[in-house]
Structure 1
Amino acid sequence: MRRRRFLTGAAGAAAAAAAGVTAGCGNLHSSDPDVLTFMFRGSTEERDVFSRAVAVFEERTGYEVQIISTSADQYATKLQTAILGNSVPDVFYLEPPRTMAYVTNGVLADLTPYVEATDLPVDDIWTAGLDLYRFDGEQIGKGPLYAMPKDLGPFSFGYNKTLFEEMGVEPPDPDVPLDWDEFLERCQALTGDRDGDGATDAWGTSVNIGAEIHSYVWSNGGDWLSEDARTITIDTPEFAEALQYIVDLREVHGVTPSINETEGMDGYQRWLRGQIGFFPVAPWDLTLYRTLDFEFDLCPYPAGRTGVSATNIGSLGIGVSAKSLRPDRAAELAMFLACDPEAQAIIVGEGQTIPNTRSHAAEWVKDTSIEPRNKQEYLDIVEDYGHFVPNALTYTPEWMDAFFTNIQPVLEARADVGEYLAATQPVMQDFLDSAREQFRIDQEANAR
């Protein structure tokens, strides 16, 4: 089991615990060379969309594909159990932070020869998306390609145009980010009692710390890791200032819903009800957001001391099992879903993602008939000011998880920001160092 210690963290532990009781779960790896298994996660709507795309692939190629879908909260455990049980699906989703471990431990097939031989427009896929799944044995972003990007998810910022108009607040510039002072002023103007019952029923914003802290930290000149990805760098003035700003939005300025106000209805639910001014508008939310009773559009995230907006780019990869009986067909399916024009028309048309290819995206942004009208903001993030969360650059992502473990007292202003960062940095560093050591061990074990 020494080689499999890369399955660390909650998902890995759950998979290891379940490894002895998976007989009733079925074999996710196809034993029939004429049948591919494709496992992914998502909603019922996403299953329907990808089933339609896969049907096109089957009709075009004559191959049979068995679809295995799970809910998002079950997927990681099911996949890790399949890895431990040597029953990995032919084609499957993977998160970028697992790429190094899956390559090192022989889970993923090298797609490079199939990419070089295909007629599909792989070269038109966003370069940043492809590089996220390249690994040369030492560094992400270089070397062979081990997965196709299923998508790129620019985590954009948006605003409720209807609420801005109702409250008489000037809307944000679609091209120039507000600085933090300007952003606070807009949030204060948007916060108030709209129905006159004496209770606040509109707020400037609502911050999801796990998703949005990256924007505030990066735009303020802070970061999580040193350039060589070996040192945790959260104990800096820039990082502390960003976290303090987030805390103060609620605890000092009251422009986000309070702890009590989020107990019955969180910020996301209040945004859906039209009560929040600024809120993230990620591509995967568009199908739902377009049904809401207010108009919305996109704008840059507010910028800290750098004056430059920043946000994170998410992604999922489509990998091929190194033990697939037909890796050529499996690779063809992965590439088809990632960049075939007909498949992309189905996937993008249903609001699951932005186009995965540059040429399709250039046409997509011109359509202002449906929200958001400022779709160019998504492309600006991908091409200009977006960053990948750096846990994708390390052997395991648990070091970043440790940051959020005990952060709640800080967010409620019951613990000091600087003290928390100083105490948490060495804990995160230990996780990072352990990951590097495990990487070395696994490399040596797999080289034998």
Structure 2
Amino acid sequence: MKGRFMKKIVTGLLASSLLVGMAGCSGDPGGSSASGKVELKIGTWAGAQELKEFQGIVDQLNQQSKNYHLTIQSIPADYYKKIQTMAAAKQAPDLFWLSQEYIPMYAELGVIAPLDEYIKGNSKLNLDDYFEGPLQVGKVNGKLYGLPWINQPVMLYYNKTLFEKTGVELPKPDWTWEDFEKAAIALTKDVNQDGKTDQFGTVIDGWPPVALWVWTHGGEIIDKDGKVRMDEPQAIEGIKMFHKLINQDKVTPNKTQAQNTGGPEMFKTGKVAMFFGGAGDDFEKQVGNAFEVGMTKVPHATTEATFSWIAATVMSNTTKNKPVAAEALIDLTNAIRKWKILPPTKSGLGHVADIRPEKAYAVEIMTESSKVSRGFNNQSKQNELDTAIWQELYEPILLGKKSPEQAAKDAANALRKILGQ
């Protein structure tokens, strides 16, 4: 899973620089080689061992295809800044990876091409096989701009050994937030009797996103039509529970404690009983025999939902042979799904136990979570919106400086200002 979502650094150039560049220089992507195959570049943030594995996939596709030859363009550092610089000069790779929050901006600026006409009728692609949440993040104004290759729903990991030792009921897939709260309180203790809490029920330190609480209470931050709804009653109810766990129940270490040690590390060392992590996180391997790891769906109130980190492969608008580039995009996406977990397709989940045997115990529960996994209703200014949520809501609540109602109001006003509402 990526780092703390709400504290990620906003990277890349201003949208205006892309607009200026799009009218300027021209490149020569999508040319043909001496063999007659269309030469295509695939941009990726993969590096080191991941890059070697990805190269193996690309080599196999190149051997199989009569129409294209793929070359990897690895950009392991400053990925978005470099991609945007290349796009401004019309030198973007023919195909490249985008995390979900960047797709609307790139689509609206004309950097990437809609795929619909090029993938229609392709026998290698079944859009009905995709889970709804991952597929939706690739769509902008009704057109499909990216095929997702990974779906990382947030799951609830728990220290099964600690639960059993303490006599607390194990988490269940149908847990409500009240069930979670009750267990978290019971597992928050001063173990060594020195007057300081040293074992916590959970950790909330900038991760997971507040959307977990908002969505599962039936609310929205920004709806599908782009309307800000963060200060509506359902959303506020979710924020109240978020606030209560942190500031009233105190079942999580404070911000300084958590960020000094790191939430994942606190879970691995038994100092945190429940951790919100990505389905593909390798806690099972890292914990080893220290304790037994369990996994289940995140709690809910009125609605089952979970946030998912989703990435897609997109096609540059400047690639010359779009039909062949789309063919390569489909082949590449299908191949990656047998490499990375969790795949965004229903059929792809059948490969999870083969790819990561230690995850075999949780395939069923990950499948159920994938059905309700989703990304944000991303906007072209998504990074600005995320920053505003952090500054006006998440951090103030972490520090106990705002009530849920005030934080929701301030954040909603900030979002409306960014969106011009």
Identify whether the pair has TM-score above 0.5, normalized to the shorter chain. yes
- SS of residue matched to 2:251: coil
Q: Among residues 98, 102, 112, which one is paired with 1:108 in the alignment? A: 112
- Encode CA deviations 1:358-386: one digit per residue, 9 max, x unaligned: 22324647999523612222222232x33
Q: Does 1:52 align with 2:39?
A: no
* RMSD (CA atoms): 3.1
Aligned to 2:81: 77
Q: Among residues 323, 327, 338, which one is paired with 2:322 in the alignment? A: 327
Q: Among residues 198, 201, 217, which one is paired with 1:204 in the alignment? A: 201
Which stretch of structure 1 is more off in the superposition, 259-268 or 48-57?
Answer: 259-268
Identity score, percent: 22
Aligned to 1:252: 248
Q: Distance in 2 between matches of 1:365 and 1:376?
A: 11
Aligned to 1:6: none
Q: Distance in 1 between matches of 2:106 and 2:15?
A: 17
Aligned to 2:213: 216
> In the superposition, relative to structure 1, how do residues 194 and 367 fare at CA in structure 2: closer, same or farther (>3 Å)?
farther
Q: Distance in 2 between matches of 1:357 and 1:214?
A: 23
CA contact (8 A) 1:367 1:373 kept: no
> In the superposition, relative to structure 1, how do residues 131 and 300 fare at CA in structure 2: closer, same or farther (>3 Å)?
closer
AA partner of residue 275 (structure 2): F
> In the superposition, relative to structure 1, how do residues 88 and 260 fare at CA in structure 2: closer, same or farther (>3 Å)?
closer
Q: CA deviation at 1:319?
A: 0.7
- SS of residue matched to 2:72: strand
Q: Does 1:11 align with 2:17?
A: no
Which stretch of structure 1 is more off in the superposition, 87-96 or 399-408?
Answer: 399-408
Q: Distance in 2 between matches of 1:228 and 1:115?
A: 26
Q: Distance in 2 between matches of 1:413 and 1:201?
A: 20
CA contact (8 A) 2:236 2:404 kept: yes
- SS of residue matched to 1:82: helix
- SS of residue matched to 2:326: helix
> In the superposition, relative to structure 1, how do residues 221 and 315 fare at CA in structure 2: closer, same or farther (>3 Å)?
same
Q: Does 1:423 align with 2:418?
A: no
Aligned to 2:366: 378
Q: Does 1:67 align with 2:72?
A: yes
Q: Among residues 395, 398, 401, which one is paired with 1:414 in the alignment? A: 401
Aligned to 1:265: 261
Q: CA deviation at 1:214?
A: 1.0
Q: CA deviation at 1:413?
A: 0.9
> In the superposition, relative to structure 1, how do residues 354 and 262 fare at CA in structure 2: closer, same or farther (>3 Å)?
closer
Aligned to 1:317: 312
Aligned to 2:337: 344
- Encode CA deviations 1:326-360: one digit per residue, 9 max, x unaligned: 333322221112224xx533x1xxxx322343223
TM-score normalised by length of structure 2: 0.83
Q: Distance in 2 between matches of 1:263 and 1:89?
A: 37
Q: CA deviation at 1:208?
A: 4.3
TM-score normalised by length of structure 1: 0.78
- SS of residue matched to 1:324: coil
CA contact (8 A) 1:154 1:314 kept: yes
Please list every run of 5 or more consecutive structure 1 residues that lacks an aligned counterpart in the other structure: 1-8, 21-26, 435-448
For residues 85-96 of structure 1, the aligned pairs below 5 Å read 85-96=89-100
- Encode CA deviations 1:142-162: one digit per residue, 9 max, x unaligned: 34x322112222222221222
AA partner of residue 209 (structure 2): E
Aligned to 2:380: 395
Q: Which has the higher helix share?
A: 1
Q: CA deviation at 1:186?
A: 0.6
Q: CA deviation at 1:278?
A: 1.3
> In the superposition, relative to structure 1, how do residues 336 and 362 fare at CA in structure 2: closer, same or farther (>3 Å)?
same
Aligned to 2:177: 180
- SS of residue matched to 1:204: coil
Q: Distance in 2 between matches of 1:31 and 1:365?
A: 37
Q: CA deviation at 1:247?
A: 2.7
Q: Distance in 2 between matches of 1:28 and 1:233?
A: 43
> In the superposition, relative to structure 1, how do residues 74 and 191 fare at CA in structure 2: closer, same or farther (>3 Å)?
same
- SS of residue matched to 2:337: helix
Aligned to 1:134: 139
Q: CA deviation at 1:205?
A: 0.5
Q: CA deviation at 1:270?
A: 0.9
Q: Does 1:285 align with 2:247?
A: no
Q: Distance in 1 between matches of 2:200 and 2:187?
A: 6
Q: CA deviation at 1:406?
A: 3.8
CA contact (8 A) 2:130 2:345 kept: yes
Aligned to 1:239: 235
Aligned to 2:5: none
- Encode CA deviations 1:155-192: one digit per residue, 9 max, x unaligned: 2222122222333322112x312x23321221122222
CA contact (8 A) 1:206 1:257 kept: yes
> In the superposition, relative to structure 1, how do residues 167 and 42 fare at CA in structure 2: closer, same or farther (>3 Å)?
farther
Which stretch of structure 1 is more off in the superposition, 248-257 or 367-376?
Answer: 367-376
AA partner of residue 201 (structure 2): G
AA partner of residue 409 (structure 2): A
CA contact (8 A) 1:400 1:428 kept: no
Q: Distance in 2 between matches of 1:124 and 1:46?
A: 29
- Encode CA deviations 1:115-156: one digit per residue, 9 max, x unaligned: 235332434640523343234xxx2xx34x322112222222
Q: CA deviation at 1:217?
A: 1.0
Q: Does 1:158 align with 2:162?
A: no
Q: Distance in 1 between matches of 2:345 and 2:146?
A: 16
Aligned to 1:228: 225
Q: Distance in 1 between matches of 2:74 and 2:162?
A: 38
Q: CA deviation at 1:196?
A: 6.0
- SS of residue matched to 1:339: helix
Please list every run of 5 or more consecutive structure 2 residues that lacks an aligned counterpart in the other structure: 1-9, 34-38
Q: Distance in 1 between matches of 2:207 and 2:358?
A: 29
